[in-house]
Amino acid sequence: MNISNQEYGRIVKRVSPPSSMTKTIPMAFVVGGAICVLGEALLNMYGAIGFSQDNAGAMTSLTLIFLSALLTGLKLYDRIAQHAGAGTLVPITGFANSVVSPALEFKSEGYVLGLGAKMFIIAGPVLVYGISASIIYGVIYYIQTLL
């Protein structure tokens, strides 16, 4: 080839279409905001019927995760996500979708090695690094309490 990879890469950059950020960002904002408003409404509702603040929060997560699992099963979550982008990714519903969708997908390879083993193929890193970060913080916090 009579062209260097550097030069080639430069031309690729020029001819590749950029994301239409004027569309994607407002969509992410609106859909993500709407999911959070739903969360807020659930939080208020569970608070009003007598749950403690912590438990109302947990009930809200539980409800949102249930809804996300249902919408994922009905093949609606990914359809909304096609337009909403990070708006459906960042909320806890996105985490649920990333657990439920591999469960559906890899069921065909069996309930143990398919569904069971591959459920956390996307969400696994979230737990690995989230939990590890919390342990590191716990150790630092413990040392602080000693001082």
Partner 1 sequence: MSVCEGKTFRYSNASIISYGSVAGSVESEGPFGDEFDEIIKDNKGSAQTWEQAEALFQQKALKHAMDKANLVPEKMDLVFAGDLLNQCIGSSCGLKDYYIPFFGIFGACSTFAEGLILAGAMVNAGYVDNAAAVTSSHYSSAERQFRFPLNYGGVRTPTAQWTATAAGAAIISASQKPPFIKAATVGKIEDMGITDANNMGAAMSGAAYDTISRHLKHMSSHPEDYDAIITGDLGEVGSNMLYELFKRDGISIEQHHKDCGLMIYDREKQDVHAGGSGCGCSASMMCGHFLKHVENGDLKRILYVATGALMSPTIVQQGESIPGVAHAVEITYK
Partner 2 sequence: MDLFLDYLWAFLVGGALCAIGQVLIDLTKLTPARILTSYVVAGVVLGALGWYDPIIEVAGGGATVPLTGFGNLLAKGVRRAVDENGLLGAFMGGFTSAAVGVSAAIFFGLIASLFFKSGTKINEK
Pick out residues in 97-116 that bind partner 1 (CB under 8 A).
97-98, 100-102, 104-106, 108
Q: Which is nearer to partner 1, 30 or 135 (CB)?
A: 30
Q: Which helix (H) or strand (E) holds 7?
A: helix 5-15
Task: Judge residue 102's burial from the number of C-beta atoms within 10 Å of its C-beta, 0-12 exposed, 13-18 middle, 19 or more buried.
Answer: buried
How many angstroms separate the CA atoms of 86 and 27, rounded?
Answer: 9
Dihedral sign of CA atoms 19, 20, 26, 30 in order: negative
Minimum CB distance to partner 2 smaller for 24 or for 147: 24
Q: Which does 25 bind (CB under 5 to 8 A by kind): partner 2, partner 1, none?
A: partner 2
Min dist CB 2 to partner 1, Å, is 8
The answer to whether the Cα torsion of 60, 64, 69, 74 is positive or negative is: positive
- Residues in contact with partner 1 by CB under 8 A are 1-3, 5-6, 8-9, 11-12, 14-20, 72-73, 75, 77-78, 80-82, 84-86, 88-89, 94, 97-98, 100-102, 104-106, 108, 122
